[in-house]
Structure 1
Amino acid sequence: MFEQFNPARLRLARLRRQYTLKLLAEKVGLSTKMVSEYEKEPCRYNPPEETLSAFAVALNYPKEFFMDTDNLEPVDRDTVSFRALKRMKASQMHAAVAAGEIGVLINNFFDNKFSLPKTNVPDYRGIEPSSAASAIRSEWDLGHRSISNMIHLLEKNGVRVFSLSENTQDVDAFSFWKDNVPYVFLNTQKSGERSRFDAAHELGHLLLHAHGVPQGKDIEAEADSFAANLLMPKETVLPYKNKLINLSSVLKLKHNWKVSAMALIVQMKNVGVLSEWQYKTLIIDAGKMGLRTREIDGIDRERSLVIEKILLSLREDGISMSKLAQLLHIPLDELSGLLFSIGLVNSGNTDMNQAKTANTRPYLRLVK
């Protein structure tokens, strides 16, 4: 009999695996009602060892995960902004929120060991999206120059960025605030350009819709407008007005801002570079070339610099990725899926007892 069973973690693992109560009950040989009772808080029924083992096998989580008494506060669904909510199944949404909760758990571990960048994300609720994009560029001293790396920019200003390894593009990206810390999760299946736009879109939610808003097309349109104006400021796009713009030139110009061809065409239309006829012609031509779903001459997908530095520091202390997974009681594939798969090479099996001890936390400094 285990004395520290945590019902919240059983529910989290079940939702992460997209299992219904009925499906999990069938896999472990229990009634749906009994599994439901095991998930109720406070803990009313302590599972015997064989039941705990069955849960661990069925959900592919270590038994220790269900016994961990660390406080695991759920992420309020109403505070989560999803990039493409209408395409998602309910099970996918619950699984994504569960990934967010695991991301918070990982961040808490990192935050206790490292001095991470402080949050510098102002509240722009009520501000028009294009004005908010200009304001944050001024706040973050970006001027009008192209943003070299969106993930690094977010991290420099205290946003915790994690990856999503979901085997679907229906879960594009999402963000939320938790304990005054902003989080962004990005799907690793997207192209580099679309992932950058997703990161900017989620920053728009964090700035414009802090701490939860009703979901809807208007809210998503605001975040899209913010992202377009952040990545492609009007001042840098407008000079191309009255110049010959065809699809070939768009494919060259998109590298100035590291955006997709479709995103650049739309922004050129919105700022007055393209006439309605030019816009429609380019959209048709781009569609024929498949540019709605792919990129020609695309850029590399961006990854986290903070996570890379953290994992390097941990490896120097003898803590490999596999050991970190053991320490957090999280499956290795789950951990690597949230950490941009950084650190899987040469993860090794260095003994945790060889880890160095220190009274001060390493400071991770990001550069522009």
Structure 2
Amino acid sequence: MNIRPLLSALTRHRASVVLLVLEIALTFAVVSNALGLVMHRVDKLQLRTGLDDTHLVYVDTDGTNRADAGAIYATILHALRRIPGVQAAASVNTVPFGPRGGTDGFYLDASEKHLGKVSDFYWGSPGYLEVMGVRLIRGRGFDPGAYRDFGTMPASGGVIISQKLATQLWPGQDALGKSIWLGKKTRYQVIGIAAPVLRPDPGYAGIGDAYDTLFLPAAPGASETGSFVLRTDAAQRQAVLHDAFAAITRIDPTLVIERDSSGSITTLRRSYQKNNRIMIGMLGGVIVALMLVTGLGIMGLTGFWVQQRTRQIGVRRALGARRVDILRYFQTENFLLATAGIVLGCAAAIGINVWLMAHYAVPRLPIVYLPIGAVALWLLGQLAVLGPALRAARVPPTVAMRAA
């Protein structure tokens, strides 16, 4: 189809054409970014802990300042293990979807010239890896003598590292025997490779860094070990949690239990992901609303143009234009307008994403969402214009004679 008559007709409605193109461009820019954010949140919902969530219960406390903290925690652990339904228990610093308690950056050399990653360290009392269900792929676990008291971070010794993080740090190499440094004095040597385990706060890092985790040994009473993880049957989790609260309160009434951040791993996941679900719903509503408003705008403006061009359409019909030709005319016209809006919207979408990245740490918009948004708007435009275009196609040739 020759587009010159189309362009000539559009120039007679410059103001409405410009407004429609700008509306399409704005919709494209916002919808593309919103779709990218929705899919990013969906990816977060699909993250797996790498543990047996249905059998784990977590009890979070804010620790104690008592000098005999180690003895208190040992007494609590003994009581927790005697609760009916508890198969095993250990003191830990945190669990997936729990509070962050071991986030730190490390280096790959003592001179601190080669930064490794900012990752999350898990540590706990003897047997905590087995209680949590951390699966060792290669290497060995911690010796009994490695579980020591410490202040801020465990002293130099062995470390178990997740397979995914090991691959990132030493691609194509065997991570066993490698070393990492926290400062120039604290050195950990990799003694084991574990299956991936999710970070306590996966939203703190990007999806690609969600499994940057390492494991260290700690004696009960060491820094940040005032929380406990218990293994039980799925059906007994709530009863075990209730009994654990009672046992801790009975042993040390001054120890504050953080009930909001305690519960089964499944419950912690649901609570943690609540905001993601709300945001997905809100962004989905924005996408639907914008597409609906844009579709109604295209429909209304095309209907107005059809009404204004009734005599012109009748003349074309009298000169031999078929109904399908009239239909194709308005569909092509809309395609040109949508394309102009999409081209302009691409620049706006990238600009909005750059601004969001700079101010709100939003991830980079995957380029794939630009063609997805373009196809969606092209289809929306064709559907929106279909009703007015069909009405125009039904205009009889006699309209031209009556108008004359």
* Larger Rg, first or second structure (1 or 2): 2
Q: Using structure 2 for the length normalisation, give the TM-score.
A: 0.21
* Greater strand content: 2
Which of the pair has the greater relative contact order for Cα pairs under 8 Å at 6+ separation? 2
